[in-house]
C-alpha cells in the first residue's frame, strides 16, 4: 500500500501517526489525574491545547511539501508554533514527550529552512527541553543535557532522511521539467525536418523540372516556327502541354512552400504538461503557424525560460501563458501569482531571452511588483521563408 504513495506523503503519514501515539500517554496520565483529583485542572486544558496546536500546525505544513525556495512567512510562523507547542507539551506534562514531537518536527524543517539554519534550529529546540529533565524530572544536569542530546541525535537522523527526500523530490521535479522541454524540442525538430524536406523537394522541382521544361517549351516554340502542316499542329499542342506542365510545377512548388510552416502550438503544449508544483494555463490557438523555424525556436526557448523562472524563482503556484498573433507579430504574454519583487534583477536566463529576441528583431517587456507576481511579454515579428527565384516570364 505504501508503494503507491510518494515519499513525501509517507513522511507526512508517519509524522501524524507518531503524533497520535504521543497523545496516548497524555490521555492516560490525565485519566489518572482525574481519578486522583476528581477533575481536570487548567494545566490539562493548556496541555491538550498545545498538543492539538502541534497536530494542526503539522497537518497544515505537510499538506504540500515543497522546497525552501517556496516557503512563506506563514510557513515559518507555523514552524515556530510547532516548536513552541512541542516545548509546551514537555513542560506542562513534565515529561520528555515534547522531545518526541521535536523529532516529528525535524522531518519538516528541511522543507522550510536551509540546512545550516535547520540544524541550528534542531539543536536549540532539543536543548530547550533540557530544563524539563533537570528541574521537573530531577535528572542530574549532565544527564539532563545528555538526554536532550540523545533525542537530538534521533532528530538529526530524521532531519537527514527528510533532507534526502526533499533532494530526491527536487531532482524528480527537475527531471520532469527537462523531459517536458525535451518533448517540446523533439516536436519542433520534427516540424523543422518536415519543412526542410518540403523545401528540398520544392527546390528540386523548381531547379530540375522547371528549367528542363523551360528549355523544352522554348525548343517547341522554335519548332513551331520551322514546321508546317500537320506536324506544326502537333508541335503547338506539345508546346501548350509543356506550358500547362510548367504551371502545374509552379503551383506545386508554391503549395509546398505555403505548407512549410511550423505549428508552434504543437511544440508548446508538451511544456505545459505535468510541470511539478506549478499549474500552467496555456492559451494558444491551434494551429499557430510560424513560417520561420528560427523564430519558432526562439519562442519555444522563451516559453521554457518563463516556466523555469516561475518554478525556481517566483514561488508561483499558477502561471498563465497566452500565445497569439497581433500586428504582424507572434506574441507570448505570461504572468504568474508569485511573490514578485521591488526591483528586477536580470539574470542569465532573462538576458539570454532578450538576446535571442533581439537577433530576430523582437522585443521583451518585463514588469514585476511585490505581491503582484511577474509579467512578461515577448514579441517576434512574423517572417516567412525566403522565396524561390521566379520562373521566367517568357515561359509562363
CA atoms within 13 A on the CB side of 330: 29
Could you list the beta-strand ranges (E) of 219-328. 262-263, 279-283, 289-290, 318-326
Q: 180-184, 382-386, 391-395: which range is least confident on average?
A: 391-395
**CA-CA distance, 352 to 308, in Å (whole number)?**
13
Q: 113-117, 130-134, 188-192, 257-261: which range is least confident on average?
A: 257-261
Q: Pairing state of beta strands 363-368 and 289-290?
A: unpaired
**CA-CA distance, 14 to 12, in Å (whole number)?**
5
Asked whether the predicted pLDDT for residue 79 surpasses 80, the reply is yes
**Band (51; pLDDT cuts 50, 70, 90):** very high
- The C-alpha cell of 171 is what? 531532482
Name the CATH topology of 261-385.
Heat Shock Protein 90 (3.30.565)
Instruction: Tell me how many degrees the CA angle 114-120-122 measures, rounded to the nearest 5.
Output: 95
Domain ranges for the chain:
2-174, 261-385
CB atoms within 10 A of CB 249: 19
- How much is the pLDDT for 87? 92
CB atoms within 10 A of CB 8: 19
Nearest to 349 by CA among 379, 312, 321: 312
Q: Pairing state of beta strands 279-283 and 318-326?
A: parallel
**CA-CA distance, 172 to 168, in Å (whole number)?**
6
Q: Can you tell me the mean pLDDT for 3-28?
A: 80
What are 281-330's pLDDT values in tens digits?
888 887 777 777 777 778 878 888 888 777 777 677 788 888 888 777 88
User: pTM for this one?
Assistant: 0.61
Amino acid at each position: 500500500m505504501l508503494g503507491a504513495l510518494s515519499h513525501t506523503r509517507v513522511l507526512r503519514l508517519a509524522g501524524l501517526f507518531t503524533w497520535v501515539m504521543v497523545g496516548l500517554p497524555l490521555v492516560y496520565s490525565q485519566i489518572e489525574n482525574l481519578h486522583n483529583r476528581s477533575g481536570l485542572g487548567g494545566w490539562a486544558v493548556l496541555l491538550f491545547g498545545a498538543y492539538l496546536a502541534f497536530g494542526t500546525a503539522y497537518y497544515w505544513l505537510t499538506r504540500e511539501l515543497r522546497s525552501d525556495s517556496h516557503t512563506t512567512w506563514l510557513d515559518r510562523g507555523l514552524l515556530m508554533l510547532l516548536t513552541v507547542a512541542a516545548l509546551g507539551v514537555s513542560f506542562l506534562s513534565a515529561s520528555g514527550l515534547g522531545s518526541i514531537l521535536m523529532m516529528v518536527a525535524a522531518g519538516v524543517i528541511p522543507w522550510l529552512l536551509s540546512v545550516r539554519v535547520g540544524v541550528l534550529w534542531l539543536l536549540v529546540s532539543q536543548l530547550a527541553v533540557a530544563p524539563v529533565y533537570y528541574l521537573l524530572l530531577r535528572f542530574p544536569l549532565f544527564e539532563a543535557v545528555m538526554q536532550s542530546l540523545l533525542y537530538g541525535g534521533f532528530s538529526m537522523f530524521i532531519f537527514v532522511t527528510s533532507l534526502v527526500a526533499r533532494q530526491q523530490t527536487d531532482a524528480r521535479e527537475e527531471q520532469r521539467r527537462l523531459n517536458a522541454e525535451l518533448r517540446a524540442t523533439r516536436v519542433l525538430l520534427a516540424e523543422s525536418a518536415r519543412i526542410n524536406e518540403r523545401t528540398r523537394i520544392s527546390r528540386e522541382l523548381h531547379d530540375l523540372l522547371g528549367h528542363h521544361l523551360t528549355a523544352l517549351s522554348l525548343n517547341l516554340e522554335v519548332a513551331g516556327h520551322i514546321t508546317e502542316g500537320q506536324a506544326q499542329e502537333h508541335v503547338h499542342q506539345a508546346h501548350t502541354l509543356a506550358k500547362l506542365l510548367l504551371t502545374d510545377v509552379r503551383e506545386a512548388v508554391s503549395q509546398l512552400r505555403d505548407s512549410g510552416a511550423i505549428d508552434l502550438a504543437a511544440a508548446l503544449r508538451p511544456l505545459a504538461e505535468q510541470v511539478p508544483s506549478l499549474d500552467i494555463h496555456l492559451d494558444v490557438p491551434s494551429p499557430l503557424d510560424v513560417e520561420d523555424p528560427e523564430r519558432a525556436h526562439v519562442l519555444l526557448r522563451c516559453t521554457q525560460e518563463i516556466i523555469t523562472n516561475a518554478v525556481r524563482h517566483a514561488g508561483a503556484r499558477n502561471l498563465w501563458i497566452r500565445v497569439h498573433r497581433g500586428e504582424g507579430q507572434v506574441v507570448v504574454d505570461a504572468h504568474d501569482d508569485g511573490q514578485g519583487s521591488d526591483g528586477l534583477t536580470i539574470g542569465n536566463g532573462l538576458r539570454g531571452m532578450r538576446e535571442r529576441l533581439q537577433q530576430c528583431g523582437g522585443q521583451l517587456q518585463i514588469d514585476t511588483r511585490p505581491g503582484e507576481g511577474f509579467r512578461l511579454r515577448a514579441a517576434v515579428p512574423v517572417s516567412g521563408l525566403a522565396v524561390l527565384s521566379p520562373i521566367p516570364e517568357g515561359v509562363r
